[in-house]
Amino acid sequence: MVEIRSVRKSFGSHEVLRGIDLEVRAGEVTVVLGPSGSGKSTLLRTVNHLEKVDSGRITVDGKLVGYRRSGDKLYELREREVLRQRTQIGFVFQNFHLFPHLTVLENITEAPVSALKRPRAGAVAAAHTLLERVGLAEKAGAYPGHLSGGQQQRVAIARALALEPKLLLFDEPTSALDPELVGEVLDVIKDLARQGTTMIVVTHEIGFAREVADTVVFMDEGVVVEQGPPAEVLDRPCQERTRAFLSKVL
């Protein structure tokens, strides 16, 4: 579903991604771990072209992200085409990013109705189904400001699902939550995993990684230091840097 090949990205003179290779198979969950500043968010952002790579390439479901190939030349996609690509990839942020002036229901129907031009009635029905799935059926009319962080993040997940994405990206989805609210959000993500949703999840929740990940990727200083099944990377890491990191977060 996702192929990342030799991806490099700098901000000014700081090379944040230094040749990343990564594959995510359809229906699998990849958990990305790594210290702050190692390039995890930047990597996720390149996958849906929120950041442009300097070199290397990324394909999602066989399509180059942000570019079109013609012969042996690459052409950058136009803004509108990038936006269309982006609707096939759901992104859930640490700080929810809900529209504060819209109700929960409106947050979920906004993109399907405005961006995808779906009929409103169908989008509303789908939103109610999604709210049930994330355990918030009774909150359709509420405003985000009246919800707990855990509830807001579950709305954000429902909103991402409303576009029926091929791929879901999570950037530290529980890092902004009080500890007692982390579980309800992880439960929703686990449920998605059981249903075969393809996901890349950046998180420090090692228990979640152990339970849900097909592959755990450890990043440090812009490179993939180590990757493999959770039982290997988490319990028998080969690299000293991985061991040092795990000893701090476990």
Q: List interacting residues with ligand ADP (CB under 6 A).
A: 11, 16, 34, 36-42
HSE value, Cβ hemisphere, 13 Å, CA-based, for 7 = 30
Task: Give the 3-state secondary structure of residue 76.
Answer: strand
- Smallest gap, in angstroms, from Cβ of residue 239 to ligand ADP? 17
Helix intervals (H) in 115-148 = 120-133
Of these partners, Mg ion, ligand ADP, none, which one is at the site of residue 11 (CB under 5 to 8 Å by kind)? ligand ADP
Of these partners, Mg ion, ligand ADP, none, which one is at the site of residue 49 (CB under 5 to 8 Å by kind)? none
Kindly give, in sequence order, each residue whose CB lies less than 8 Å from that of residue 207, ignoring residues fewer than 6 positions away: none
Query: Distance between CA 176 and CA 91 in Å, rounded?
Result: 16
- Smallest gap, in angstroms, from Cβ of residue 41 to Mg ion? 3
Q: Could you tell me the two tokens for 68?
A: 């079109």
- Smallest gap, in angstroms, from Cβ of residue 20 to ligand ADP? 11
- Smallest gap, in angstroms, from Cβ of residue 21 to ligand ADP? 17
How far from 118 is each of 114, 126, 161, 249, CA to CA, in Å? 8, 11, 14, 44
Closest among 101, 161, 168 to 129, alpha carbons compared: 161
- β-strands 55-60, 2-11: how paired? antiparallel
Cβ proximity to Mg ion, 41 vs 107, nearer residue: 41
Stretch that binds Mg ion, among 33-41, 56-64, 122-130, 157-165 (CB under 5 A): 33-41
Is residue 41 a contact residue for Mg ion (CB under 5 A)?
Answer: yes
Cβ proximity to ligand ADP, 1 vs 33, nearer residue: 33
Is residue 227 a contact residue for Mg ion (CB under 5 A)?
Answer: no
Kindly give, in sequence order, each residue whose CB lies less than 8 Å from that of residue 49, ignoring residues fewer than 6 positions away: 65, 66, 82, 85, 86
Q: Tell me the per-residue interface mask from 110 to 139 with Mg ion, x by CB under 5 A, - otherwise.
A: ------------------------------
- Smallest gap, in angstroms, from Cβ of residue 82 to ligand ADP? 18
Of these partners, ligand ADP, Mg ion, none, which one is at the site of residue 42 (CB under 5 to 8 Å by kind)? ligand ADP
Give residues in contact with Mg ion (CB under 5 A).
Answer: 40-41
